[in-house]
Amino acid sequence: MAFIEINQASKGYTTGGSCISVLKDINLSINEGEFVAIVGYSGAGKTTLISLLAGLIRPDTGTVTFADKLVTEPGPERGLVFQNYSLLPWLTVYENVYMAVNQVFKNLTAEEKEAQTKKYIKMVNLLPARDKKPKELSGGMRQRVSVARALAMEPQVLLLDEPLGALDALTRAVLQEEIGKICQEAGKTVILITNDVDEGILLADRIIPLSAGPNATLGPSIAIDIERPRHHKTIEHHPHYKKIKLSILDYLITSHAGQKQLVTHKLHLPNIEPENLNSSTFLDRLLSTRPPKRRNELKEEKVEVHS
Amino acid sequence: MNTKSFKIEDYLFPLIGVAVVILLWAIVSALPGSALPSPYKTWMASKLYILHPFAKRGEMDQGILRFTWYSLVLVAKGYTLALILGTPLGILLGLSPVFEKSFDVIIQILRPVSPLAWLPLGLVLFQKSEPAGIFTIAICSMWPTVLNTAMGVKAVPQDYLNVARVLKLSWLQTLFSIILPAAMPSIFTGFRLSLGIAWLVIVAAEMLTGDPGIGGFLWQEYNSLIYEHIILCIITIGLVGFVLDRFMGLIEARFRTA
């Protein structure tokens, strides 16, 4: 059995009376030590997928297993790097990382915990900023703190949820190589969620496209046979680069074009029937005791949308 | 804060405002048949109390700051009680939707009840004026703390709670290291509003009990027909309330940046 496995999982949300199925028939198996990128449209359900893996939410049907155990709740063995960093704003960089270390390695001495914290802050090159609060840092620095916090828990798998999504293109490129290097050194199993195909190709061992939602599902996995270390400057000239990129884009675009979205709206009509102005004289209307008529019915309409 | 440049307008304009009001006061007091004491008469009658602010000449004849001090001590007691009761209640309301649904209505009903209505009940319950005053201050001033704490706790971002879940923080750890720090700015806004109300209530409470204090003094001087001292008390109450609010504002600002 593979290290991480998702078996026939599906997940939907109910919002305001209409039910949207986000993920459907998700099957995924990842071996230990692999770096897998899942690439998909924004809004396709990528964050839902990683929340399933992290155990923040449970699938409606199917199972998620990690190291042969059913995932039912989050835990530090699956380190999660959140899309929006999720650093605690009232703690410094050091305290944010220390909190994770302190919680996961309860039986270390205070000095060992301190050393562990420093080690990972150093790994992301943030030692000079260790006593700064998150809001004093740039977006890229915040994300590095978030990575350090996840790594400091020494998780068995690192889950990266669009870690660089909120950054500008230049910072992004720098951090991509940095994350690639850190993950390579740590030798961990990594699952990266992203909407950037190039990012996936640069970092991952294989890429799995996620089709457009609703009812998003995973496409065929595409191995990336480009030797490491990979760099932005050289990767585009690699003979396989274009072929890989095309096949992923091809899958994603085809899946998007084939999507017909069925949206169910609930229509709230005014809950009142107007008075009949023609029926009687003004005096009659004035004296009439007929209460305003209510119509307590809810109309539904189905709209087919080509997206 | 220290880097802010000194602007003359910041001090000049408020002084102009004060001068205009004093002028209007003088004009109104000079109208024929007006019972309002003029600013000059007020000053002459209040001089003794202002220039010897801590003097004690008798139970109800003391310096103005001495009276203020008595009132502040009583407010501090009632306010502390309000925070001790109000903060946990607010946290519970914020954490538990069931608890909130059950008690929201009763809070909305108790909240607008005037201190003048609570004090007699306090006197009946405690038989003495001081605990009755403390009771009144506490029960009137706790609501902003309760409601703001509840709001702050409810508004803790899901992301922070996810961090707690990934780290497997216990229930208590989540409360003390995630929820409360995240709700702190909101809780302190509640504390500030509560202090404002506590000071508002003290005067009403003292007027009814007749205890020495700024409100008791005010009521006694009304009964002795020394109207100048009523104005002295009003100005003092206003100034103290202003200083308290500024003081809480500073503390609040500290937590906001944290």
pLDDT digits (tens, 9 = 90+) for A150-184: 989 889 899 998 888 778 888 888 888 888 888 88
* pLDDT surpassing 80 at residue B59: no
Instruction: Supply the pLDDT for residue A94.
Output: 94
Task: Give the pLDDT mean for B98-103.
Answer: 92
The residue out of A224, A239, A259 marking a domain boundary is A259
CA of residue B104 relative to chain centroid, distance: 23
Q: Are B202 and B164 in contact (CB under 8 A)?
A: no
Q: What percentage of chain B has pLDDT greater than the value 90?
A: 50
The answer to whether A157 contacts chain B (CB < 8 Å) is no
A278-304: burial string, b at 16+ Cβ within 10 Å, e else? eeeeeeeeeeeeeeeeeeeeeeeeeee
Instruction: Supply the pLDDT for residue A36.
Output: 92
Q: Are A55 and A64 in contact (CB under 8 A)?
A: yes
Q: Are A104 and A153 in contact (CB under 8 A)?
A: yes
Its sign, for the CA torsion A166, A168, A169, A171, is negative
Q: Give the Cα separation of B56 and A96 in Å (integer).
A: 56
Residue B53's CB is within 10 A of a number of other CB atoms, namely: 15
- The amino acid that residue B3 corresponds to is T
Residues A118 and A181 in one domain: yes
DSSP assignment string, B140-203? HHHHHHHHHHHHHHHT--HHHHHHHHHTT--HHHHIIIIIHHHHHHHHHHHHHHHHHHHHHHHH
Give the gap in angstroms from C-alpha A178 to the nearest C-alpha of chain B: 24
The domain in which residue B119 lies consists of: 39-257
* pLDDT surpassing 60 at residue B2: no
Count of structural domains within chain B: 1
The domain in which residue A281 lies consists of: 262-306
pLDDT single digits (tens) A59-116: 988 899 998 888 888 888 898 888 888 899 999 999 999 999 999 998 889 999 999 9
Question: Which residues of chain B lie closer than 8 angstroms to A73, CB-CB?
Answer: 165
Instruction: Supply the pLDDT for residue A118.
Output: 92
User: Which residues, including other chains, have CB under 8 Å from residue A238's CB and lie 6 or more apart?
Assistant: A226
Instruction: Supply the pLDDT for residue B24.
Output: 93
Task: Give the pLDDT mean for B232-253.
Answer: 91
Give the gap in angstroms from C-alpha A82 to the nearest C-alpha of chain B: 8
Residue B32 lies in a domain: no
Gyration radius of chain A's alpha carbons: 26
Whether residue A214 has a cis bond before it, omega within 30° of 0? yes
Q: Which two tokens stand for residue B160?
A: 């922070």
Q: Which two tokens stand for residue B28?
A: 């109104």
Residues A251 and A267 in one domain: no
Residue B126 lies in a domain: yes
Residues A236 and A292 in one domain: no
pLDDT band with cut points at 50, 70 and 90 for residue A14: confident
Instruction: Supply the pLDDT for residue B20.
Output: 95
Q: What percentage of chain B has pLDDT greater than the value 70?
A: 97
Count of structural domains within chain A: 2
User: Which residue's entry shows tokens 């009771």?
Assistant: B135
Gyration radius of chain B's alpha carbons: 22
Task: Give the pLDDT mean for B172-199.
Answer: 92
The residue out of A259, A277, A293 marking a domain boundary is A259
* pLDDT surpassing 80 at residue B163: yes
Q: Which CATH number belongs to the domain containing residue A138 in this structure?
A: 3.40.50.300
* pLDDT surpassing 60 at residue B3: no
The answer to whether B253 contacts chain A (CB < 8 Å) is no
* pLDDT surpassing 60 at residue B1: no
Q: Which CATH number belongs to the domain containing residue B191 in this structure?
A: 1.10.3720.10
Residues A93 and A232 in one domain: yes
Residues A218 and A72 in one domain: yes
Question: Which residues of chain A lie closer than 8 angstroms to B168, CB-CB?
Answer: 74-76, 103
Residues A255 and A270 in one domain: no
Instruction: Supply the pLDDT for residue A275.
Output: 61
Task: Give the pLDDT mean for B59-75.
Answer: 87
CA of residue A283 relative to chain centroid, distance: 66
The answer to whether B162 contacts chain A (CB < 8 Å) is yes
On the 0-12 / 13-18 / 19+ scale of CB atoms within 10 A, A246 is exposed
Instruction: Supply the pLDDT for residue A297.
Output: 53
* Helix, coil or strand: residue B46: helix
Residues A239 and A280 in one domain: no
Task: Give the pLDDT mean for B101-121.
Answer: 90
Residue A239's CB is within 10 A of a number of other CB atoms, namely: 7
The residue out of A259, A274, A297 marking a domain boundary is A259
Answer yes or no: do A153 and B167 touch at CB < 8 A.
yes
Residues A95 and A241 in one domain: yes
Residues A154 and A291 in one domain: no
pLDDT band with cut points at 50, 70 and 90 for residue A188: confident
Answer yes or no: do B162 and A103 touch at CB < 8 A.
no
Residue B171 lies in a domain: yes
* Helix, coil or strand: residue A195: coil
Residues A183 and A285 in one domain: no
* pLDDT surpassing 70 at residue B237: yes
Residue B154 lies in a domain: yes
If you measure CA to CA, which chain B residue comes closest to A101?
A: B167
The answer to whether A193 contacts chain B (CB < 8 Å) is no
Task: Give the pLDDT mean for A251-271.
Answer: 70
Longest alpha-carbon distance in chain A: 92
Residues A302 and A203 in one domain: no
If you measure CA to CA, which chain A residue comes closest to B180?
A: A90
**Taking Cα atoms as reference points, which of B144, B145, B133 lies closest to residue B75?**
B133
Instruction: Supply the pLDDT for residue B22.
Output: 92
Residues A65 and A91 in one domain: yes
Question: Which residues of chain B lie closer than 8 angstroms to A104, CB-CB?
Answer: 167
If you measure CA to CA, which chain B residue comes closest to A102?
A: B167
Cα B55 to Cα B41, B43, B49, B58, B213: the distances in Å are 21, 18, 8, 9, 13
pLDDT band with cut points at 50, 70 and 90 for residue B86: very high
Residue B190 lies in a domain: yes
Q: Which two tokens stand for residue A127?
A: 């030692």
